[in-house]
Amino acid sequence: MSRTGILVASLAVIMLASTVGPAFAAQMEFRTWVEPGATDEVEIKFQRTVIINYDQGGMLADELRGQKFAKTFTVTSTDPGVNELRDRINYQISQLGSSAAITDVQIDYDTKLTGRGLNTSIDYKIILTMSITNHVLRESSGGNSGLVDMNWRGLAVPDEVTVNAKGIPHEINLPISFIADVAPGLHSAILGSEAETLLNAPIMDASGIKAQPLGNWHFLFDPTGINVDASQYGMYDELAGVVWSSYTMGESSLREGIQTEKEFAASFTTDTTYDLRTIESADAANIFFAGFSNIDVLDNTEVVGVYPEAPEGFATTSTGQFPVMIIYGMAGMAGIGGIAVFIVSEKKRKGDIKAGNVQTGIDPSQLVGADTSTGSGGYKTNRGEAHLKSDDYEHHRSVYDENPQVEQKTEPAPAEETKTEPAPAEETKTEPAPAEETKSDDSASDRGSMPKGWSPE
């Protein structure tokens, strides 16, 4: 039982680890070639939804129903506000103990308010696309791995962030700013309430990505670039001969725990009380390194060691440099899952047998076939059915066997026509009728000729 429990638990871990949320509060994508002095690209997407409920109606409900407002624009480093944001991000990175620096920023802003019958939703989305440098601390050489600084990944921008789009200033970091622009009545009702505090929480906050140690992230690598098929079917020169290592954060697992939505609630009162909620999904991130990588900590700084080739201890195959131990590990995980499923299903089967809930079926050797159809004209269709040798086939005979009986019952029809032939005999029996009529005439004449009162005596 203890072994069975271990196998079942392992299967549960595998299934749980594959569960990933469909949307994220802060989602980061980063890819690096691990080259000193190189500039790589980082994309961080921030999302949040605010919902105002007015099930009981009210003046705000009448004002918001059917309303639709949207604000969408893109700004680059040509705007002074974007450059100010870049400098603030660099300051936050330095506070995290990282030597990395942001050199360029692009902002894509998209926010919409939609008023419905029972609630109003406001969806915020900000995408920061940044160029980062100085994150590669050391290039790989000899038997030493390259080092990549990853302490910068938890950047957060507090307070207001104002940028200019088409000459118009827009504050983008605080949710309440958009409400003040498009729904002044709602903004006035929120001021001074606990809902105002909730709506002043900055949107650009990726601190949850930094809070999760890299050692807890899910690690995978893609050996496509070193596979012999890569050269056979063609591949970009920059990808050929390269293995990509990846780390994923945001999945539910025993290491990271169950990832849940971040939901906060507050209320405010004007003519009536209104409920307000903010909803964000769990933070998530994907980072990729060109080479084989591992996690290390140097002076309280999380770094990733990256080898351009497989380190010593990794086996190779004829297909290239794909690590055999990884293949065995993946096969072992699949085998453990299969064994666990087999044990559970076998236990259930035995339990069903003891309870008498299993249908074992019929031994084919105890069955015999019987024809149920004959040919018609020059065409013959072979049909049949099976029944037990020990059973009386007459009790289960197919309806097809009744057709010959119906045809036999129709054969006596000519005999019925023969029975109609005695009709002339009945006519012969009617011939004596004239004799009876003659006798009656004679007696009548005799009686008529006798004298009145005469008696034969």
Q: Classify residue 434 by its DSSP letter.
A: H
Q: For residue 59, is pLDDT > 80?
A: yes
Task: Answer yes or no: are the C-beta atoms of 278 and 50 closer than 8 Å.
Answer: yes
Tally of CB atoms within 10 A around 259: 20
Top-confidence residue, 325 or 449: 325
What number is the average pLDDT over the span 385-398?
Answer: 64
447 has a pLDDT exceeding 70: no
Residue 414 has pLDDT above 70, yes or no: no
Mean pLDDT, rounded, for 333-362: 79
Q: What is the C-alpha to C-alpha distance for residues 175 and 357, in angstroms, rounded to an integer?
A: 61
Amino acid identity of residue 285, one-letter, is A
142-167 CB burial, b ≥16 within 10 A, e <16: eeebbbbbbbbbbbbbeeebebebee
pLDDT of 111 = 97
Rounded to an integer, what is the distance from CA 17 to the centroid of its chain?
15
d(CA 221, CA 259): 23
Whether the predicted pLDDT of 41 surpasses 80: yes
Is the pLDDT higher at 377 or at 419? 377
Residue 376, token pair as written in the block: 């018609």
pLDDT tens-digit map of 84-132:
999 999 999 999 889 999 999 999 999 999 999 999 999 999 999 999 9
144 strand-pairing partners: 141
Q: CA-CA distance, 237 to 240, in Å (whole number)?
A: 5
Q: What is the CA radius of gyration of the chain?
A: 47
Cα 161 from chain centroid (whole Å):
38
The two three-digit tokens of residue 414, written as one number: 């000519």
